[in-house]
Structure formats: structure tokens, C-alpha cells
């Protein structure tokens, strides 16, 4: 009789914790997140003028046209489901050759040397930001391709430069997707 009583108690405890931890806890915090932080809880999605999802402000995208600012290279080809670094050491010949090739291609397209962030991959492979200096070295190319005054593009870069978090954490950065969407919104 004692064994059956213990099995019943164990079964009731398992069901209780399954409901509490597997259902109630996730539902409560999902509901809280939807109310308190709806944008972040839904992936920080970015929509175009037609309300179509075109990306996330948290995930980098590949821009190759000369009309757009280019982000950091990705070791995973910007595939969010495969987030991760290349794991190549700084002395690895494959990495060195890739960086040299990317730097040469950038210089040929922009007429200037790239900043380090434009030829090195982020740890996640998905960083949506570049440095303000990385954006600055692309202004001439973008303004020429779009037939805009460089000062107009420079002002837009400045407008889309985010400061340090709480004024002290991290570095100033530019979200490439947001900046390129703003460029698309300029009437020429």
C-alpha cells in the first residue's frame, strides 16, 4: 500500500510541476512580455510602407547594391538559424586571405580603405550594426549611386547613429537596415 501511495504522490507532484513550470510560468511571462515589451517579444520586426515584414532590427542582412550601405560580413551568410562565428584564429591563412580580398573589393568599390568592422565578422554572424566610421567611408559611394548630396547622406547617417546604452555601455553604432530604409524613403 505504501508503494502505491508514493507512486500517486510522485505522479501528482509531476503533474503539478508540469502545469506550473511547463504551462503557467511560460504563459505568464509571455503575457507580461507582450504587454510590457511587445516589439521585442515579437522579434523587433521591421516593416516597410506596405506593412510587410522585411527584417528584424536585431539581425543583419546582406546588402550588395552600391545604392545601399553594406553591413559586416557574415560567416554564416546571414542565416539566423545558424548563428555563430567562423572560429578561425587571427593567424589562419583562410581568414587572412578572406579579409584581404574583402578589403580589396571594398576599396575598389568605394575608393577608400574599409574600417575594420566592414571586413571582420561578428561573433554571432548576424550583427545588424556598423560603426559610424564604417558608415562614413561608404557615404561617397551611396550618395553617387543615388544622386544625392554627400551632406544629405551624412546627415542621415548622423540621424541614425545610436549612442551608447545608458550613455556609458557599448559603442556608438548605426543600424544598417534602418539607415537603408531611410535612404529608400528619400524622394529624389
Give Cα 65 distance to the centre of its chain.
19
pLDDT tens for 76-125 read: 888 877 777 778 888 999 999 999 999 999 999 998 999 999 998 888 88
pLDDT in tens, 12-49: 999 999 999 999 999 999 999 899 988 888 878 888 77
pLDDT for res 53: 84
Helix, strand or coil for residue 179? helix
> H-helix or E-strand containing 109?
helix 93-110
Number of domains in the chain: 2
Q: Give the residue carrying C-alpha cell 577608400.
A: 112
Greater model confidence, 12 or 54: 12
For 72, the grid coordinates are 559586416
**Could you give the 3-state DSSP secondary structure of residue 3?**
helix
Q: What is the pTM of this model?
A: 0.77
CA distance 172 to 161: 7
What is the residue range of 8's domain? 2-39
Mean pLDDT, range 163-171, rounded to an integer: 89
Shared domain check, 85 and 47: yes
Instruction: Examine the domain organization and report whether 27 and 63 are in the same domain.
Output: no
CA dist., res. 134 & res. 132, Å (int): 5
Query: Are residue 28 and residue 112 in the same domain, yes or no?
Result: no
With 0-12 / 13-18 / 19 or more C-beta atoms within 10 angstroms meaning exposed / middle / buried, residue 44 is middle
CA distance 24 to 19: 6
pLDDT value, residue 187: 66
3-state secondary structure of 169: strand
Do residue 162 and residue 84 come from a single domain? yes
The continuous run of DSSP H or E covering 130 comes out as strand 129-130
Are 29 and 56 found together in one domain? no
Amino acid at each position: 500500500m505504501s508503494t502505491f501511495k508514493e507512486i500517486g504522490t510522485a505522479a501528482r507532484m509531476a503533474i503539478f510541476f508540469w502545469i506550473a513550470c511547463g504551462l503557467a510560468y511560460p504563459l505568464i511571462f509571455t503575457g507580461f512580455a507582450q504587454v510590457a515589451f511587445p516589439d521585442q517579444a515579437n522579434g523587433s520586426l521591421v516593416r516597410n510602407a506596405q506593412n510587410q515584414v522585411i527584417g528584424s532590427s536585431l539581425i543583419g542582412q546582406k546588402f550588395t547594391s552600391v545604392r545601399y550601405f553594406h553591413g559586416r560580413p557574415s560567416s554564416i551568410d546571414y542565416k539566423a538559424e545558424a548563428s555563430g562565428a567562423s572560429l578561425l584564429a587571427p593567424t589562419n591563412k583562410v581568414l587572412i586571405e578572406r579579409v584581404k580580398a574583402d578589403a580589396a573589393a571594398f576599396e575598389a568599390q568605394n575608393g577608400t580603405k574599409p574600417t575594420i568592422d566592414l571586413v571582420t565578422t561578428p561573433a554571432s554572424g548576424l550583427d545588424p550594426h556598423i560603426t559610424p566610421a564604417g558608415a562614413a567611408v561608404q557615404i561617397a559611394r551611396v550618395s553617387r549611386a543615388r544622386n544625392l548630396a554627400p551632406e544629405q547622406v551624412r546627415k542621415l547617417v548622423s540621424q541614425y547613429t545610436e549612442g551608447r546604452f545608458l550613455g556609458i555601455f557599448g559603442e556608438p553604432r548605426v543600424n544598417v537596415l534602418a539607415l537603408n530604409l531611410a535612404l529608400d524613403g528619400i524622394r529624389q
